[in-house]
A = this chain, B = another copy of it.
Amino acid sequence: MKRDFLYDEIARKISNQIKSGLLQPGDRLPSIRTFSHEQGVSVNTVKRVFLELEAQSLIQSKPQSGYFVSPASYLKIPLTEVSKTSLGIDNVEPKELISRVYANMGKSDLTLFSIGIPSGNLLPLAKLKKELILATRALKEGGTEYEPIEGNLKLRRMIAIRSLAWGGKLQESDLVTTNGGMHALSLCLMALTKPGDTLALESPCYPGILQLAISLGLQVIEVATHPITGIDIESLKKIIPVIHVCLLVPNYNTPLGSCIPDSNKNEIVNLLSKHHIPIIEDDVYGDLYFGSTRPKCCKSYDTEGNVLWCSSISKTLAPGYRVGWIAPGKYKEQILKLKLVHAISSTSVVHEAVGNFLKSGRYDNHLRHLRSTLSDNFQHYAQTIASYFPEGTKISRPQGGLALWVEFNENIDTAELYEFALKHNISIAPGRMFTLQDQYNSCMRLCYGLPWNDELKFKLKQLGNFAKILDKKI
């Protein structure tokens, strides 16, 4: 799939220098321009080399400072396995497990490694409150009126402007607002499927998406997914004859944190469009990149209106506000109709406040801080896991987002670890939640959207110890 052998060769050379210790953790790499000059290659080739190394977690970019070799400790931890494609038969929803884990949401006495949203401590609460109060005062009827069916105009305009950063080129009229990200996915699936249809997803996959698919009577095929580069295109090709819709979280999906390389996104869009299979793209984590550049979206490559790009502010700003949106491409009429019928309108005043917040420029400021914190948090987690988790523990290499996938050796049952940890006020998300198949029983998702401090470190260390106890080989 790699067409440019030159950049691949240079990337492998640097990778070997890092792994052999020639380049040390924290070492600064030459600037893109210097490197281009030194190696006698184009600036674009160097950029691709650095992106590739970043995707492999070997280097990391620091805004305004350049590229550095990543802290080394977690590099010794093996990468989690590439998942396998399921046949999509014998799907069994882990209902009871999910209910138990979700029931912990909002319990303030627990350390919620299981939650998939950023902690309130990481959000610009004072500024959000101010915007909400201003909007309440400013709106003609205090937001008691229904919105126009497409949703708040200011919000749609800001999302359209922001889409330029990832090659979206959206107009406000391309967008429809929703009551959060899950509502967006729900509308898309209702518009595109009927019970019995088959849906392709990444594996492992966010439990909410699996449950949504089941609730709509869909058959689910979980497709082989690489922990760094996301869904495997060859595996996707094989199932094309049997699928009706594909739902992807291309950028930093949960639980893996994988990111589909932009060239693969292009290939996937062309492939599925050719076969008239719509792509629902869930981009809720797209703004949470650790590197220097926001990744593109499948929508960036969509020339036929075949991609329904969905996102929200729930993972970046205010989960409880319920503000999401869809750029539904050629399916706009169906989406508008379903929105009207199932929801009528969103909460006008809150959508107005978020529109204003985005317009104020505060969102980008906030995102810069949040990204930097999440990136640091991941490093802390990885180092703690390297030091205190059982030998043989594998982790994914998120280059953005909020979550990390942990794979223990098969002695350790994470449903058991869940119960063990809960007795000590720690909640984790066991791997079985992220699939409809009997797999991932030794895996778990850890969210690093909690503020890092000594207590959190202690809890994570404790969790590692519990896992060691369960590891019968010890």
Give residues in A with beta carbon < 8 Å to B: 102, 105-106, 117, 120, 123, 125, 128-129, 132-133, 136-137, 140-149, 179-180, 182-183, 186, 190, 194-195, 208, 211-212, 215, 217, 314, 317-322, 337-338, 340-350
Contacts and interface: CB of A to CB of B under 8 A. Distances in A.
B133 A318 contact: no
Contacts of A343: 179-180, 182-183, 186, 322
A315 B347 CA distance: 15
25 contacts: A106-B145, A106-B146, A120-B144, A125-B142, A129-B136, A132-B142, A133-B137, A136-B136, A143-B320, A145-B319, A179-B343, A180-B344, A183-B342, A186-B343, A195-B195, A211-B337, A211-B340, A211-B341, A215-B338, A215-B342, A320-B348, A322-B346, A322-B347, A349-B350, A350-B350
A269 B29 CA distance: 75
Contacts of A133: 133, 136-137
A36 B105 CA distance: 59
Q: Pick from A194, A212, A217, A340 the residue with the most CB of B within 10 Å.
A: A340
Contacts of A136: 129, 132-133, 136
Contacts of A350: 347, 349-350
B318 A148 contact: no
Given A341-B211, A343-B182, A146 B129 contact: no
B322 A179 contact: yes
B211 A144 contact: no
Given A120-B144, A128-B142, A182 B341 contact: yes
A320 B341 contact: no
A349 B128 CA distance: 12
Contact of A321 (B105, B129, B143): B143
Contact of A320 (B145, B182, B195, B217): B145
Q: Pick from A186, A318, A342, A345 the residue with the most CB of B within 10 Å.
A: A342
Given A106-B145, A125-B142, 10 more contacts: A105-B148, A105-B149, A120-B141, A125-B141, A133-B136, A144-B318, A147-B320, A190-B215, A215-B338, A322-B343
